[in-house]
Amino acid sequence: MSNKKAIIVGTLAFDEIETPSGSSGKILGGAASFSSLAASCFGVDSAIISIVGKDFPDEYLDIFRKRNVNMEGVEIDKSGDTFYWKGRYHTNLNRRDTLVTELNTLANFKPIVPESFVKADVVLLGNLHPAIQHSVLDQMKTKDTTVVLDTMNYWIEGAWDDLVKVVAKTDIITINDEEALQMTTANNLLDAAKKIESMGPSYIIIKKGEHGAMLYHNNQTFLAPAALLDNVVDPTGAGDTFAGGLVGHLASSPIVDFETIKTAIVYGSSMASFCVTGFGTKSMINVDLEMASKRAKELQSLVRFEL
Amino acid sequence: MSNKKAIIVGTLAFDEIETPSGSSGKILGGAASFSSLAASCFGVDSAIISIVGKDFPDEYLDIFRKRNVNMEGVEIDKSGDTFYWKGRYHTNLNRRDTLVTELNTLANFKPIVPESFVKADVVLLGNLHPAIQHSVLDQMKTKDTTVVLDTMNYWIEGAWDDLVKVVAKTDIITINDEEALQMTTANNLLDAAKKIESMGPSYIIIKKGEHGAMLYHNNQTFLAPAALLDNVVDPTGAGDTFAGGLVGHLASSPIVDFETIKTAIVYGSSMASFCVTGFGTKSMINVDLEMASKRAKELQSLVRFEL
């Protein structure tokens, strides 16, 4: 077990998901839930920074407490309800429509980093308004923290100036393929990665869904596979789970370099492959490092060939 | 060098291609051209079976003769012109519109296998009407030939019964991801591969364009990478070149099994990565086995990681 510390900033939420195979009802969701369930498998000293409302069940908080996740940074705002999202997936699960978004107490979210985590080794800035992501970095009392940022089209379109500021302070960015092209007006992923590199991050991870992920760093590239699955139930949270597995491995590694990040991506991909086989966080509750390592070995064998 | 023999059945054609970067003019095209240029790099004893018209320049035939490709099976039909295709690619090169298709002498094509190739070790049935593909198999005088079949949506939609017959006699099928799903009404590639397996082929290769290719065989899977390119000029012929590299490697291997086919796919992917960097067959004229092997090693390093 490592003594390294990891902060996970993101939403704790209620999700309600409809897919061709059924309806989830109102369940635990949010980027921080998925990321934290994945990261906590690595035995790192982690903390969630988030906000919930008066309706958030204590049993849900216990899920994280039982995994030794520090919850001091989770504000319980009695003035309202927890962030709620409802979505419906199309037949092939590649597209979804948002049916309802209720920000509720998330509108009041002002992240506060617990004193014991202001020198954390890794911080994962989950998908949130980039100004909120930045406010976490402002509270850090060391320059050695590895900053991992996840973002999406919503902020590219609606909060560009703030996004540029937080991207400039990012070491490792994770972004979807379409969004990487949108953000850079590039025609291909290699160009997009180079353009994002010029904005600040040393390591650019472009997520390609079922096609895996690409890592770019200083003219070096790596392609990580995604597991071949025929039992996908719900893709919600796959990206957050990926980021959580990535951060969990990084926080349990003595150094952070190209080789370590390659392995971390494979662990992220491994974790995500479990996530999508059940509604919401359901599958992630039972995943452990042994299962993730076994799946990572399968991914290694999936791409191995002789010349 | 191997004494194994490979037959390549497919079109020799004039192509005219428009892309955002320019227009090709009327140039050498056709599945057999691309496949043969790739396969002939492996020093195998190969033959093209095709048809051309009175307008097909002898210089074009010389391109293949110089690579020791047997051209006895190429009928020169003086009654008309050569098959002609004109297409225009969209901005991101992922989609194209066919502007002109003139079958010309291709409408008269009755493939005849030269006597010296009726016991060939490998036959590549390039994208053609499945009844024509089948007529080649009827002429083979051995049951040991490895049959590699390429097909597309046009025949799935328009010649299903004939397609089923030739697929039943196929050992290795190559097909695009979208077409594999269309052909099997599966929701994911793993299911699609299993359904295609039940139609006859032992090895199912699903091509995913820039995302590489998947091999499925008897509950084993392999994911091959595609090279990361930022200099794609013209995707025309990439699939045919892939199939040619695959067949070239197989015909130069002592055995055909899962491991050999994995390597063959990587050689196919390597060859295709050169093909797309110029209009039509232009880049393939200068590719040799050394270049393809170097690229294959780069692909190996692109996906390698430590656990």
User: Residues of B at the A interface (Cβ-Cβ below 8 Å)?
Assistant: 91-92, 187-191, 208, 211-212, 214, 221-225, 228-230, 232, 259, 262-263, 265-266, 293, 296-297, 300, 302-303, 305-307
Choose the closest CB to A307 out of B212, B230, B297: B297
Asked if the model's pLDDT at residue A1 lies above 50, the reply is: no
| CA-closest candidate to residue A110, choices A72, A144, A81, A74 | A74
Cβ separation of A214 and B228 shorter than 8 Å? Answer: yes
How far B212 CA lies from chain A's nearest CA (Å)?
Answer: 9
Report the pLDDT value the prediction gives residue A94, as an integer from 0 to 100: 82
Domains by residue range for chain B, with CATH: 5-302 (3.40.1190.20)
Write down the pTM of the prediction. Answer: 0.94
Q: Above 0.90 for ipTM, yes or no?
A: yes
Report the pLDDT value the prediction gives residue B1, as an integer from 0 to 100: 46
Size of interface A-B (CB pairs under 8 A): 84
The encoded tokens of residue A29 equal 């969701």
Cβ separation of B223 and A307 shorter than 8 Å? Answer: no
Residues of B within 8 A of A263 (CB-CB) are 305-307
The answer to whether A240 and A34 have CB atoms below 8 angstroms apart is: yes
pLDDT tens per residue, range B146-199:
999 999 989 999 999 999 999 999 999 999 999 999 999 998 999 999 999 999
The answer to whether A269 and A255 have CB atoms below 8 angstroms apart is: no
Task: Provide the β-strand partners of residue A222.
Answer: A215
Residue B171 has a CB neighbour count (10 Å cut-off) of 18
In sequence order, what are the residues at sequence separation of 6 or more whose Cβ sits closer than 8 angstroms to the Cβ of residue B233? B19, B21, B276, B277, B278, B279
Residues of B within 8 A of A222 (CB-CB) are 302-303, 305
CA-to-CA distance for B122 and B144, rounded, in angstroms?
9
> What is the percentage of chain B residues whose pLDDT exceeds 70?
99
Location of structure tokens 């012109």: B81
Burial code (b: 16+ CB inside 10 Å, e: under 16) for A260-290 equals ebbbbbbbbbbbbbbbbebbbbebbeebebe
pLDDT tens per residue, range A70-124:
999 999 999 999 999 999 999 878 889 999 999 999 999 999 999 999 999 999 9
Residues of B within 8 A of A177 (CB-CB) are none
User: Residues of A at the B interface (Cβ-Cβ below 8 Å)?
Assistant: 91-92, 187-191, 208, 211-212, 214, 221-225, 228-230, 232, 259, 262-263, 265-266, 293, 296-297, 300, 302-303, 305-307
Q: What is the mean pLDDT of chain A?
A: 96
Rounded average pLDDT over B23-44: 97
Cβ separation of B229 and A297 shorter than 8 Å? Answer: no
CA-to-CA distance for A123 and A166, rounded, in angstroms?
13
| Distance between first and last Cα of chain B | 38
Report the pLDDT value the prediction gives residue B2, as an integer from 0 to 100: 46
Mutate: best of A207, A269, A303, A306, partner B, most B CBs <10 A: A303
pLDDT tens per residue, range B88-144:
999 878 889 999 999 999 999 999 999 999 999 999 999 999 999 999 999 999 999
Cβ separation of A302 and B221 shorter than 8 Å? Answer: yes
Choose the closest CB to B266 out of A212, A228, A305: A305
Cβ separation of A306 and B211 shorter than 8 Å? Answer: no
Q: Which residue in chain A is spatially nearest to B226 when comparing CA positions?
A: A223
The answer to whether A29 and A99 have CB atoms below 8 angstroms apart is: no
Rounded average pLDDT over A128-154: 96
Q: Is A202 helix (H, G, I), strand (E, B) or coil?
A: coil
The encoded tokens of residue A158 equal 């609606």
